[in-house]
C-alpha cells in the first residue's frame, strides 16, 4: 500500500509538471519572439497561437497538449495504479496546464489536455465529444459547444449501459462506472472553474458580476462581442501609444 501511495504521489507531481509546460507560450517566444499573453485574445493556448503567429506553429502544440493529458494517465496505468488514481493524474495534468507553476499559475483553458485525458480513458467517447464540439465552429460558438460536450461526458458514462450509448465505451465499466463518472465530472469542473476565475478584463468593467459570470460560463469571455474580445490586446496597445 505504501508503494502504491508513493507511486501515486510521484504520478500526480509528474502529471502537474508535465501539464505546466506552456507549449504555446514557448513556441510563440521561440518562433516569433513574442509574449503570447500580450497578443490576440491573450490566452496561452493553441487557438491564440494559431491566430497570433501561424497555424503551422500551432500544429505541434496541438499534438503536444493532447499528449500531455494522455501521457499523464498512461504513466499512472503503467505504474499499475487503480482507475481513480489514473483519473486524478489526468486532472492534475489539466490543472497544470490551466495554472502552471512556470507562468505564475495563469495560462490556458486546458481543453486539448482534457481531450488527451479522455482519449487515454475512453477514446471512442472522447472522439465523439470532440466532433460534437467542432459542430459549434461554423457558428462561432466553439466555447459553448465544448462546454456542453464535456458536460455530456459524465452523463454518458453514467448511462453507459444504455443501448447505443454503450457503443462509445471499450468495455462495460461495471463497478467502476461511478469512478469514471466522477473523473469526467471533475474534468468538467476544472474547465468551469478556470473560466470563472480569470481576472476581469477592463472591457467588462461596467458589467454586473452576474452578467460577467454568464458570459464566462457559456462564451468563455467577459463580453458578448466576440470580435472586440479577440482584439482586446491590440486595442489596448493602440490606446497606450495614442
Model confidence at 227, pLDDT cuts 50, 70, 90, reads: confident
Average pLDDT estimate for 34-61: 81
Average pLDDT estimate for 66-70: 95
Residue 78 confidence (pLDDT) above 80: yes
C-alpha cell at 125: 467517447
Domain ranges of the chain: 2-198
CB 218 within 8 A of CB 211: no
Q: Rounded to 5 degrees, what angle do the CA atoms 47, 206, 39 make?
A: 25
Of 92, 97, 192, 200, nearest in space to 146 by CA: 192
Of 241 and 64, more confident: 64
Model confidence at 107, pLDDT cuts 50, 70, 90, reads: confident
**C-alpha span between 126 and 168 (Å, rounded):** 9
Model confidence at 124, pLDDT cuts 50, 70, 90, reads: very high
Q: Select, from the ranges 67-76, 170-179, 227-236, the one with the highest average predicted confidence (pLDDT).
A: 67-76
pLDDT of residue 233: 66
The pTM (predicted TM-score) of the whole model is: 0.89
pLDDT of residue 237: 43
C-alpha cell at 27: 513556441
CB 187 within 8 A of CB 153: yes
Question: At which residue does the C-alpha cell 454568464 appear?
Answer: 214
Residue 84 confidence (pLDDT) above 90: yes
pLDDT tens digits along 11-33: 999 999 999 999 988 988 888 88
pLDDT of residue 234: 58
pLDDT of residue 105: 85
Of 2 and 240, more confident: 2
Amino acid at each position: 500500500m505504501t508503494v502504491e501511495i508513493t507511486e501515486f504521489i510521484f504520478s500526480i507531481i509528474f502529471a502537474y509538471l508535465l501539464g505546466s509546460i506552456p507549449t504555446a507560450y514557448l513556441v510563440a517566444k521561440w518562433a516569433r519572439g513574442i509574449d503570447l499573453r500580450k497578443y490576440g485574445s491573450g490566452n496561452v493556448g493553441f487557438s491564440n497561437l494559431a491566430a497570433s503567429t501561424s497555424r503551422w506553429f500551432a500544429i505541434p502544440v496541438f499534438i503536444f497538449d493532447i499528449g500531455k493529458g494522455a501521457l499523464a494517465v498512461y504513466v499512472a496505468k503503467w505504474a499499475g495504479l487503480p482507475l481513480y488514481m489514473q483519473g486524478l493524474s489526468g486532472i492534475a495534468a489539466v490543472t497544470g496546464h490551466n495554472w502552471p507553476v512556470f507562468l505564475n499559475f495563469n495560462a490556458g483553458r486546458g481543453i486539448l489536455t482534457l481531450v488527451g485525458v479522455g482519449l487515454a480513458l475512453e477514446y471512442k467517447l472522447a472522439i465523439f465529444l470532440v466532433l460534437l464540439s467542432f459542430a459549434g465552429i461554423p457558428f462561432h460558438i466553439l466555447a459553448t459547444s465544448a462546454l456542453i460536450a464535456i458536460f455530456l461526458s459524465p452523463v454518458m458514462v453514467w448511462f453507459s449501459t444504455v443501448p447505443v450509448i454503450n457503443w462509445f465505451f471499450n468495455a462495460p465499466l461495471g463497478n467502476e462506472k461511478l469512478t469514471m463518472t466522477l473523473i469526467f465530472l471533475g474534468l468538467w469542473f476544472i474547465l468551469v472553474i478556470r473560466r470563472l476565475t480569470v481576472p476581469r478584463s477592463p472591457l467588462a468593467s461596467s458589467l454586473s458580476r452576474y452578467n460577467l459570470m454568464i458570459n464566462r460560463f457559456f462564451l468563455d469571455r467577459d463580453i458578448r462581442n466576440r470580435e472586440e474580445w479577440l482584439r482586446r490586446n491590440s486595442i489596448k496597445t493602440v490606446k497606450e501609444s495614442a
